[in-house]
Chains A and B, each alone.
Chain A
Amino acid sequence: MTSIKGTRSKGVALHAVLVVGLLLSAFPFYWAVIMSTHTSSEIFTYPPNLLPGSHFLENLRSLFDAIDFFGSMWNSLLVAVSVTFLVLLFDSLAAFVFAKFDFPGKRTLFATLLLIFMVPAQLAAIPQFVIMAKLGWIGSMTSLIVPAAANAFGIFWMRQYMTGAIHDELLDASRIDGAHFLRQYWHVALPVVRPGLAFLGIFTFMGQWNDYAWPLIALTDPDNVTLQVALSQLNGTHGTTDYGMVMTGALLALIPLLIVFAIGARQIIGDLAKGAIK
């Protein structure tokens, strides 16, 4: 920011590298758009079609004929929004405790948390189903929301983030002012870690939105499923897969994620600007 001449040529090189990375990460999406506008037979030709075709509406129509797109989208939204809200609350609360307070058993409890994180999800899937069935939750969205309401990953993330971001002097000052635990959490910790929370929120929403294995097991009524399971029903149900239609569905399923990400990104940007002024 000081010497303008040196920064400019460096800036150009920097942007050149960043643009290459941008093209690399965006290309498969371009490719998916291409696929969604062609018929399956047009997709598998050589040399490959690099320009959009004219079959998008046709693919869209067969998609809506094949699955209850909007019904399953509503289910996905319900699950993802509820889980995100609960995870942000429970995980940040626990992370605050692990990052900034000492209490008997803290090390053991945190080590346990990390161990839990390393347990393959598949390990528990079959017995978990039995428990859910006993509770009468199988087939309802409760079976997806409740077990996901707090997780080791989010606590680990927020704890690592809070350790660096919340300064002890700030907490000391608020304690001298007589703030009790929940006030410290709400008024001191949360405002500082908003970028971290935004990230966790986006990631949680995304993970729930894209989750596939557990909803496939837990939602037994094929007419009342989440979007990913509905999309997977497209695969092979008519003998061969209609790749154009599958890609159209995958692209449409991406839209809510993009909206959430755009909202979260703005949150992160807001705090960025604040940090720059400081």
Chain B
Amino acid sequence: MATTLRKPAPAVTTPAAGKPRTGVRKYWHLYAAISPFYLLFLCFGLIPVGFSLYVSLHRWDGLGSMEWAGLSQYQYLLSDSDFWTAVGNTLVIWALATFPMIFLAMVTAVMLNSAVRFKNLYRFAYFLPNVTSVVAIAIIFGSVFSTNFGLVNALLQAVGLDQVAWLNTPWGIKTAIATLMTWQWTGYNAIIFLAGLQTIPGELYEAARMDGAGPVQTFFRITLPMMRPVLLFVLVVSTVTGLQSFSEPQVLLQTTSNDSTFAGGPGHAGQTMVLYFFQQTFDNNDFGYGAAVAWGVFLVVVLFSIINWRLVQRRGED
């Protein structure tokens, strides 16, 4: 029965049959296996991150002496409308990019999983956008969305529509950045979904077919529930990378903004949270406040990831 599907019990727990052993001695090999990551993180992550927390409680221009500021940087952050504008920009760009991306990727993966011929050609081609560097992509998209010589506007004109100043209007900027991100990540996520689809045992589909389930029913009753770990992965990764987007707007809008390379284009319409961090830190030489902004970014990313995680988990458990 398709409806009674449950994931297999996750962990291999063996009740200690013989003499009881203490945790560390019994599990030492498991701790050893996960230790490289945690050791590296301790040296090159935790200590630097701890230092940045220290910096955020000070006024510091990066060179001179540090002056204790307590929580005042964070108080200012809460009332800083420029920061909240950047948060809003980031969320809008993230939403514009992520929802079409996940939908398209899922559709592509299901199609690839059923189309037998040329599968590898498609897979190869769809993955390509993610292979190249953001710098090159942003240069290409800059030329594609250019107002006077851009391909998109040439296309609009060809079908009798008006030109759009893509990189000069608030929505144009956000659309251009989101298009770039969607283009770069759809195929990548489709390949991940495909990998997940291939771990679903074929017998489940056969059983469903014998029970008379149609393709839509099969998708919602078997494919989607079995794909939940992969879907969660994709959503969390898209949230984390999308909310930390930096290179895309930075390179894309570099040439159109006059005041700063981190301003995010005219009217700061493409200024993401991380761009704002760079602006505060390196343009204003305000390392203390920059560190506070970075921690603000971190909290927004964590909060948002938890919300997304909960949403997917709950929908799956119904």
Contact = CB atoms under 8 A, between A and B. Distances in A.
Interface of A: 11, 14-15, 17-18, 21-22, 24-26, 28-29, 31-32, 35, 43-48, 90-91, 93-94, 96-104, 109, 113-128, 131, 146-147, 149-153, 155-157, 160-161, 163-165, 167-168, 171-172, 175, 181-182, 185, 195-196, 199, 206, 210, 212-213, 228, 231-232, 235, 243, 246-247, 250, 253-254, 257-258, 261-262, 265, 268-269, 272, 275, 278
Contacts of A118: 240, 298, 301-302, 305
Interface string B250-278: 00000000000000000000000010011
Contacts of A232: 135
B31 interface: yes
B187 interface: yes
Interface in B67-123: 104, 108, 111-112, 114-115, 117-118, 120-123
A158 B23 CA distance: 25
Given A122-B274, A153-B237, A165-B199, A28 B183 contact: yes
Contact of B112 (A18, A101, A113, A231): A18
Which DSSP category, helix, strand, loop or mixed, fits chain A's interface?
A: helix
B33 A123 contact: no
B220 interface: no
Interface in B16-61: 23, 27, 29-31, 33-34, 36-38, 40-41, 43-45, 47-49, 51-52
Given A21-B108, A28-B129, A45-B149, A101 B187 contact: no
24 contacts: A18-B112, A22-B121, A24-B183, A25-B126, A32-B140, A35-B143, A48-B149, A94-B33, A101-B27, A109-B38, A119-B45, A123-B297, A127-B47, A131-B47, A146-B40, A150-B40, A160-B232, A164-B199, A172-B12, A195-B198, A212-B247, A231-B135, A257-B132, A261-B124
Given A18-B111, A28-B137, A231-B135, A206 B125 contact: no
Nearest to A24: B183
A238 to B, nearest CB: 16
Given A25-B128, A164-B229, A199-B192, 6 more contacts: A15-B117, A18-B112, A48-B149, A119-B49, A120-B244, A168-B12
A268 to B, nearest CB: 8
> 5 tightest A-B contacts by CB?
A127-B48, A124-B48, A250-B136, A150-B37, A127-B51
A21 B125 CA distance: 9
B interface, over-half SS = helix
A123 B299 CA distance: 12
B170 to A, nearest CB: 24
Contact of A157 (B51, B233, B247): B233
Nearest to B10: A163
A228 B135 contact: yes
Contacts of B140: 28, 31-32, 35, 247
A32 B294 CA distance: 35
Contact of A15 (B14, B115, B120, B134): B115
B41 A116 contact: yes
A265 B247 contact: no
